[in-house]
Amino acid sequence: MSHQWLRAEYLKNSILGYNSIEDYTYQIIWFAFDIHGEHIRSQEDYNRILKLCNYRNLNKMLEKNKEAKELKDIIDTYRFSNEIIYLRDTLANNLKHRGNLRFYGLERPKAGYGEKNELGELVFDSKWIQPVTVDIDETITKLANIHKKALKFVNDVINYIDFFNQFDQEALEDGDLKPTFTKFHKKLNFYK
């Protein structure tokens, strides 16, 4: 097994992990503020409500609430930064929708397939659906920068939610981690 191939596999795993941070953070916000507006009484309820948690639905709700402007700005600053767009739209989407990424130095020539219509015009070429080819070292450098952005994003959301003040400090010292969730709703209320 080549060292370069192993590096590529670790890199692909990292790409998917960093890409997931955005979705996980949306879920934290979605449930911390009950943006879904429903009472969860079962695992089925939770799973159904979780499926509704995505940027489009979250953004729609945040736009309706003028008190949520700061939170929306935190999300949009992260989501629409060039590095995160590249992570999501180029790297992660190639892994998820084209089954892989290709890396310089590891790519192998592949047999292609093309199809022409009756006029001789090319209507399909397998090259069109090939995964993007990237440089391992450049991509690692980009992920190092994405790491810093992801940390800032998550910390900004934690601070906005005021996460650590959701717990009774005395109970925390006793090892009881039961949050007092009513404090979340003092910051943002979507269903007044």
25-41 pLDDT, tens digit per residue, is 999 999 888 888 888 89
Q: Give all strands (DSSP E) within 42-121, no chain letters.
A: 102-103, 114-116
Q: Closest Cα partner for 74 from 190, 157, 162, 167?
A: 157
pLDDT band at 63 (very low <50, low <70, confident <90, very high): very high
* Inter-CA distances, 75 with 18, 55, 114, 128, Å: 15, 9, 42, 33
Higher pLDDT: 113 or 82? It is 82
Cα–Cα distance for residue pair 139/96, rounded to 1 Å: 17
In the chain, where the domains are located? 3-187
pLDDT of 123 > 80? The answer is yes
* Residue 66 pLDDT class (50, 70, 90 cuts): confident
Over range 138-154, report the average pLDDT: 97
